[in-house]
Amino acid sequence: MKNPFRLPRRANLSRPWRWLVPVLPVLLVLLFLAVLLWLPWQARQMEANERQEQLIADTLWVEQTLRFELARSEEALATLGADLVAGLPTSVPAPDALQARFAQMFKNGPELRRVLWLGANGALLARHGMDPPAAKPQADGVETHDMARLTRAGRYTEPYGATKQAPGLVDYYLPLFQDGAYAGSLVAAYDLKVLLDETVPWWFAQDNALTLLDRNDTPLATRAAGGPGRGVYTHRRPLDLPGASIVLVTDSVKGAPRLLPNLLVGSVIVLALGLLWSLLALWRHISRTLAAESALRQQMAFRTAMENSLMTGLRARDLEGRVTYVNKAFCEMVGLPPEELLGRKPPMPYWAPEALGEYEERFAGVLAGTITPQFESVFQRSDGVRVPVLVFEAPLVDSHGRQTGWMSSILDITDRKKAEELNRQQQEKLEAGARLATMGEISSMLAHELNQPLAAISSYTAGALNVLERADKGVPVEPVLLRRALEQARQQAQRAGQIIRSVHEFVKKSEPKRETVAIDSVIDGVRALIELQTRQSYVSLQIHLPPELPPVLADRLMLEQVLLNLTRNGIEAMMDAPPERRILRITASNDEAQVSVSVIDHGHGIPLEVAERLFSPFFSTKAEGMGMGLSICRTAIEFHGGTLTHAPNPGGGTVFTFSLPRPAATTAAVELQ
Ligand code: ADP
């Protein structure tokens, strides 16, 4: 069965990929940021590549242009050369016409610096233009010339003459043939700087620095209209002239593209950083929330466990009396599941029919806002069993201090009630027992106290009978003796009656009849009885009383009984003593507070183990003893606010002393009058 008191588990706790939930957004954002940072870099790369490609294409184009210009010039030279050798050896071109053609050529190709016409034997036949500032190396020229003749094709020399101030030059040897036979050469010198200046368009020169290099990378000619190149975008392209190794180098004046070329990329990065920051903040917030949630769950679990383990029933009700909460103990108390209680309004299913009036009256109080903070009631469990309960009610207050209902804690007091009932029954039994004990006590006391007067009566009547028996034998009757014996027997009979009344009063625990009593008169009252015993036991009785002994406020009969008990014990203690030590003394003394009477014997004394139990009822060391005497004496003396003590007699035996408080002087005076 589902336990409604158990805390619901979170469904996804066991999923293995749960840890991804907080990590995934972070991973995605990091990926997003990486892409964002990569994009500008990629754009820059693309731009750089594009520029490089553009430069390569432009360089190619320039190279083509240079090649085209030189090719055009070669063609013009070839045409001229063909014309020159056509009429040989018969007709030689007129020098003026030749110069005019040269001039025309120089006009069309400003890069031309000088043209030589050499005959088949190497003699200079004509020339035009200025000599180059530097002379080309002789060997190179001869070699080129020979190669041109051999290959029957035009050929360039290696560039030469380049200095810091002067640009480099290159010569072109064009072999001329007539009818297959070598007929001379045309040698043209090109100024490479002019070639660059004239051939490369200005807009290209504006964006790029152009340099022509020889095979040793020595600059031959440079054109840098837009300033020196940055060295970022460069391209080398050989001019591919037969015999000459000239490399065209272009170097863009543009630098590398900037990483943050525009506001857009900047703002994207700012946004990304903002996003990262807010994500971190969100993450922290989520972590805190998760921690708080976990702490709350723990607390909830603890609270639920606590409520479930409580023995006290808990019940909450709203202001209309509807049950809003019950704990396990309450449900067990009324034997109903929480579903049958929550949301219920009175009459409740656990109300016992016989107490409906009480419930309704109390519920009306709850609705009116007046509660009884603590009361006892009874619930009817679902199986009909009545459960006595103790209910504590208190207002239920929310966190804003508003009262939202009532909270009750309910204690099942079945056990307490049972214990109370048991207690009551035991009390009754005890009382009955006590009554029985009291009756036993009365009979014991009576038996004990009546012993002496009855023994005395028996002794007096035996005396009287003796007198009468003697009369039967003819001895004259002594009426005085007879009367005295009968008188004594009558007195003892009266005394027995008084004892019975007194014991009855004593057992009823009614106040003793107190009167002002003089100690010597008390002793006189029992003297005859004491002497009766001392005579029988061969004990001599000595009574020493100070003359001015003040009276006490006491029940005379009780004091007499005490004296009789103490003297009888003293006499019995001396039964085994030698006759000369059998002396029983009664003394008295007084101080401002009390009057004390001591009974002193020379008997066997009281050993320690006997002393411990001396005053316990029914404790006796004698074969015939009842063990009530000292117990009665102590009770009687304490009844009068006095004390009864015993001490060893220094001369052997025991001293029993009772002390009674002296009445206040005035009271005593009044009483005495
Ligand atoms: P009982 O005299 O019936 O034994 P008591 O209560 O008067 O009962 O005395 C209890 C016991 O105390 C006696 O049995 C005796 O052992 C002891 N006792 C009492 N008085 C004396 C005494 N004067 N000397 C020695 N022992 C005494």
Residues 553 and 564 in one domain: yes
At residue 586, does pLDDT exceed 90? Answer: yes
Nearest Cα residue to atom 23 of ligand 1: 570
Residue scoring higher pLDDT (513 or 179): 179
**What CATH number is associated with residue 558?**
3.30.565.10
- The pLDDT value given to residue 603: 96
CA 620–ligand 1 middle distance (angstroms): 6
Percent of the chain surpassing pLDDT 90: 33
Question: Which range is least confidently modeled, 8-12, 42-46, 398-402, 459-463?
Answer: 8-12
Question: Which range is least confidently modeled, 417-431, 450-464, 657-671?
Answer: 657-671
Q: 361-367 — which CB contacts under 8 Å span 24+ positions?
A: 363/321, 366/317, 366/321, 366/393, 366/406, 367/319, 367/320, 367/321
Nearest Cα residue to atom 26 of ligand 1: 606
CA 580–ligand 1 middle distance (angstroms): 22
pLDDT band at 264 (very low <50, low <70, confident <90, very high): low
- Domain residues for the domain of 423 are 413-509
- What is the average pLDDT across 40-46? 82
CA 655–ligand 1 middle distance (angstroms): 12
At residue 58, does pLDDT exceed 70? Answer: yes
- What is the average pLDDT across 91-116? 87
Question: Which range is least confidently modeled, 110-114, 160-164, 390-394, 610-614?
Answer: 160-164
Residue 167 phi/psi, 5° resolution?
-75, 165
Residues 581 and 495 in one domain: no
Helices (runs of H) and strands (runs of E) counted in the chain: 15, 21
At residue 667, does pLDDT exceed 60? Answer: no
pLDDT band at 180 (very low <50, low <70, confident <90, very high): confident
Pocket of ligand 1 (CB under 6 A): 565, 569-570, 573, 601, 603-604, 606, 610, 614, 619-622, 625-631, 654
CA 589–ligand 1 middle distance (angstroms): 24
- The pLDDT value given to residue 437: 54
**What CATH number is associated with residue 338?**
3.30.450.20
CA 124–ligand 1 middle distance (angstroms): 183
- Which atom of ligand 1 approaches the CA of 630 most closely? 6
Q: What is the mean pLDDT of the chain?
A: 85
CA 494–ligand 1 middle distance (angstroms): 27
pLDDT in tens, 123-165: 888 889 888 877 777 778 888 888 888 899 999 999 988 888 8
Nearest Cα residue to atom 19 of ligand 1: 569
At residue 11, does pLDDT exceed 70? Answer: no
Residues 432 and 377 in one domain: no
* Pocket mutation for ligand 1, best pick of 562, 569, 621 (most atoms within 8 Å of C-beta): 569
- The pLDDT value given to residue 668: 42
- The pLDDT value given to residue 570: 96
| 370, 396, 412 - which closes a domain | 412
At residue 544, does pLDDT exceed 90? Answer: yes
- The pLDDT value given to residue 427: 63
At residue 590, does pLDDT exceed 50? Answer: yes
* Pocket mutation for ligand 1, best pick of 620, 628, 646, 658 (most atoms within 8 Å of C-beta): 620
- The pLDDT value given to residue 669: 39
CA 445–ligand 1 middle distance (angstroms): 15
Residues 586 and 519 in one domain: yes
CA 621–ligand 1 middle distance (angstroms): 7
pLDDT in tens, 387-414: 999 999 888 888 888 988 889 999 989 8
Nearest Cα residue to atom 18 of ligand 1: 569
CA 213–ligand 1 middle distance (angstroms): 152
| 385, 412, 439 - which closes a domain | 412
- The pLDDT value given to residue 438: 52
- Which atom of ligand 1 approaches the CA of 604 most closely? 25
Whether pTM > 0.95 for this model: the answer is no
- The pLDDT value given to residue 156: 93
- Which atom of ligand 1 approaches the CA of 625 most closely? 3
- The pLDDT value given to residue 71: 92
Residues 527 and 585 in one domain: yes
d(CA 95, CA 433): 177
The count of structural domains within the chain is 4
- The pLDDT value given to residue 261: 60
| 465, 489, 509 - which closes a domain | 509
- What is the average pLDDT across 612-626? 87
Residue 478 Ramachandran class (φ > 0 left, ψ -120 to 50 alpha, else beta): beta
* Pocket mutation for ligand 1, best pick of 615, 630, 644 (most atoms within 8 Å of C-beta): 630
Amino acid in the structure at residue 281: A
**What CATH number is associated with residue 449?**
1.10.287
Is 213 inside any structural domain? Answer: no
d(CA 55, CA 49): 10
- Which atom of ligand 1 approaches the CA of 628 most closely? 6
Is 252 inside any structural domain? Answer: no
d(CA 415, CA 359): 23
pLDDT in tens, 352-377: 888 888 888 888 887 887 888 889 99
CA 642–ligand 1 middle distance (angstroms): 20
List, in order, residues 6 or more apart from 404 with CB less than 8 Å away: 318, 319, 396, 397, 398
Residues 465 and 605 in one domain: no
- The pLDDT value given to residue 666: 38
Residues 490 and 562 in one domain: no
